[in-house]
Structure 1
Amino acid sequence: MAACGYSLGALYRPTWMDVPPMLYSGNPMPAIPGMVLFLHAILVDAPKNLAMSLGHTIVITETGADVLSRLVPAYHVST
């Protein structure tokens, strides 16, 4: 699946597989002010059976988007 985010809110059932409005190239649904979305990237290492997801919750505004996530990502790399 080549999606990069999904809808949030009281009107959507609590599952990340809401279709629509998942975000993907060619989706005809416009992002309109007031929509709340979770934008993420999933990184997968299939041979090791590992996966992780990085993302932020945003709200679409008249001038773009505002990040609602309050936590600042802290990345730790172990060798």
Structure 2
Amino acid sequence: MKKQDFKVLKTKDLYPFPDNPFHVAEDETLSELAESIKEFGIVTPIITRPKEDGDGYEVIAGQRRVRASELAGINTVPAFVLPLDR
């Protein structure tokens, strides 16, 4: 089994994975999530994998949490880093 890591990552180092069919809607629910993150933090870590070029991480699950964190003024997020295939 390949190793997974738990890290706290900077939002500036996170990127959507190529051909991601989902896009974050900038709506009221995102603002509500940002307020929740300000108050309670991120309860469920995002899931990422290292970028192929080694420069940052691709967000596999949790792009809304990343965007809401940015809106809340928080520049780090808890993340599982998995060695996932492309």
- TM-score under structure 1 length normalisation: 0.28
Which structure has more relative contact order (CA 8 Å, sep 6+)? It is 2
- Could you say which structure has the higher helix fraction? 2
- Could you say which structure has the higher strand fraction? 1
- TM-score under structure 2 length normalisation: 0.26
Give the greater-gyration-radius structure (CA): 1
